[in-house]
Amino acid sequence: MEPIFLKPVFKQMIWGGNRLGTDFGYEIPGDDTGECWAISAHPNGDCQVKNGVYAGMSLSELWNDHRELFGNTEGDRFPLLIKLIDARADLSIQVHPNDAYAKEHENGSLGKTECWYIVDCDADAEIVIGHHAKTHEEVKEMIENKRWNEFIRVIPIKKGDFFQINPGCLHAIKGGTLILETQQNSDITYRVYDYDRLSNGKPRELHVEKSIDVIEAPFVPYQVSATRETGAGYERQNLITCDFYSVDKLELHGTAAFTQDKPFLNVSILEGDGTIDGIMIRKGDHFILPADYGEYTLSGNMTVITSSL
């Protein structure tokens, strides 16, 4: 059994930059490349397998025709979506509904829970996470009266920070930030505020009523567990375990053996290089270790983010 390496899909965005090319060495389509869909079976960016017996198949085909690779997990779609995001400019401020709200208001869609690992950022970078309203009434009042500066919670960030973004949590990346996003495979987003910017002479569409419906108050920040597992050659930290995914950060300095005992494991190399079971891997590689992969050995100096159900 081999790791399943995937070919990323790139998305040009008005707020995108060139760091996915300069930092990660990808062949990007332009200097406005905002997103690298690294592990995705979404119809808007379905990654192709690069190696082995499944080479050329898309991840959605693999999910549909070889469910045994995913531990026979049930569901009509591959449940997660892993992206790298390079924001040169500020993104609009958004919120996602939960499954129940999306089901009722978005034709049976799923809601969206996501999380962000800060891969790199400018020295003075900030991020929008949450708001300062104390009650739902105050959320409504502050949005309707455009009290954005008082309402929006902006905090400084640094490389290595991690944020869980549950449904109902206001959020936005600001310029100068490169993140790895792990999310439910869903697209339902409500845009609350776009800094009053114009795109082709017009403001972008906002979803103010739905946003007010779903924003939760008061905002409660997520505390990353400080629990770390340290072994010879590595340190591993569980960043989040929620209903939709579990995300770990692994820092490797040497050689260490691990066991893949999940239905499947998504692996993203964010820094450094090395090997997995003798196969060369480097920053920017993304692969899946399928069900029953069993024991594997990593060697090298690497920062790795993994996710599983």
Question: Which residue numbers are catalytic?
Answer: 191
> Of 101, 158, 160, whose CA–CA distance to 126 is shortest?
158
185 contacts: CB under 8 Å, gap ≥ 6: 40, 41, 42, 77, 78, 79, 80, 81, 110
- Determine how many CB atoms are found less than 10 A away from the CB of residue 218: 13
